Amino acid sequence: MKFLPFIFKHLRRNWIRTASTVLAMAVCIFLFCTLQSVLAEVNTLLEASSGTRLVTRHAVSLVFNVPLPYAERVKTVPGVKRVAVTSWFGGNLLAKKEAAGGDGSESTTDWSNFFPNLAVDAEPYFAIYPEFQVPPDQFQAFMQDMQGCVIGRKLADKFGWKVGDRFFLESFIPPYRKRDGPFEFVVQGVFDTDLAKYPGTDTNIMFFHYKYLREGTGRQLGAGTLTVEIDDPEQAGRVSKAIDALFENSDAQTRTETEQAFRAGFISMAGNLALLLNGIGLAVSFTILLVTANTMSMAVRERRTEIAVLKTLGFSSATVMGLIVAEALLLGVLGGALGIGGSQAIMWALTNTPGISDALAGIGLSELNLKPFVAALGFAVALFLGLAAGFVPAWSAYRSRITDMLRTV
């Protein structure tokens, strides 16, 4: 500890260089922590998937619907327990919230308050998803009301909605729009979840009757996807193949996969998300390693005479090496702390900024935050970068002979 002021004084010697290095390190750790937090959140989302659930969609793209009669045929496949029609509605609140009995003629949408909303075949859907715990009386009321909807607790808290409230949604998907204005909904239930039993379950979501969507638009709509519950998770591969085989020779071939694979594919439509994010993190870390190593080498080279003086005064080579490594580690500590703080701040800002937080919620990242293990990992990376950057110049100082270093005055 008695050497710490000495190390700090050296770091202050060229404060612009020190600050630049710390900032570079901070940017690296900031990116690392932020990207890893996104990945961790995505993984949590995927872990929330059940092994007994499959998703059947159009083989070409999610943009195309699966014909409705497919649901009945899928039910006949051995091993299939339930099938629920599911469609991503993509509805947005109108800019002005409608009061009960409003005519809904307003067409301006409020994108800043976007939240996930799905039209589902309610009875089988809620049986397939036990994590959405709707009180029985409210579920009963929901089933009896065509305009009824159930909303998650987080959504209810966000808008202050309660049972009996009404609101309007208009989809950004043209076939899901009514000719006479937006869809009107009545909150018939508010569901909770048991996060200990179903970790990663998001209650910032709304469900309503698929039948209402179909009849409201007056179009022959298909299903966005079919959510399939199977008896045995071990049979997921066989059942998926059997389902897809049913429609192999039809115009609308299907692709069936586990819910986890479906979500992973949905989240990483742009490619392999994990590979991309880790790749970015690795490239940035390596670049910063080179920058920091260069800085440390320059700093040590400038101090060759001082290192010789220290050794002459009786500082052992190991002590001198330790001082240089400690200096590099301190750069890592400062950069790491700054990067972790910045990452935490940006995630807080994102999840608390209207519009952005809703967009994040829309892709299931409403809980985005800096997890302790990601922060610890980020700090470890910062320390490693500092150590790796400082080791070579420190080793060089360790090996250098006093007389050689004094001769370079």
Q: Site residues (CB under 8 A) for another protein?
A: 2-3, 6, 9-10, 12-13, 305-306, 308-319, 401-403, 406, 409
Shortest spacing between CB 321 and another protein, in angstroms: 12
Distance CA 305, CA 327 (A): 18
Nearer to another protein, 8 or 286 (CB): 8
Residue 51 neighbours by CB distance under 10 Å? 13
Structure tokens at 218: 């007056």
Shortest spacing between CB 26 and another protein, in angstroms: 24
Nearer to another protein, 196 or 313 (CB): 313
Nearer to another protein, 7 or 273 (CB): 7
Nearer to another protein, 213 or 310 (CB): 310
Strand 225-230, strand 80-88: pairing: antiparallel
Owner of token pair 């870390």: 285
Which residues contact residue 37 at a Cβ distance below 8 angstroms, ignoring those fewer than 6 apart?
A: 343, 347, 368, 369, 370, 371, 374
Distance CA 295, CA 298 (A): 5
Shortest spacing between CB 396 and another protein, in angstroms: 16
Shortest spacing between CB 203 and another protein, in angstroms: 57
Shortest spacing between CB 399 and another protein, in angstroms: 10
Which residues contact residue 258 at a Cβ distance below 8 angstroms, ignoring those fewer than 6 apart?
A: 49, 51, 53, 54, 55, 236, 240
Shortest spacing between CB 41 and another protein, in angstroms: 45
Nearer to another protein, 63 or 313 (CB): 313
Closest of 115, 151, 158, 116 to residue 132, by C-alpha: 151
Nearer to another protein, 241 or 407 (CB): 407
> Alpha helix (H) ranges present in 145-252?
153-159, 210-217, 236-246
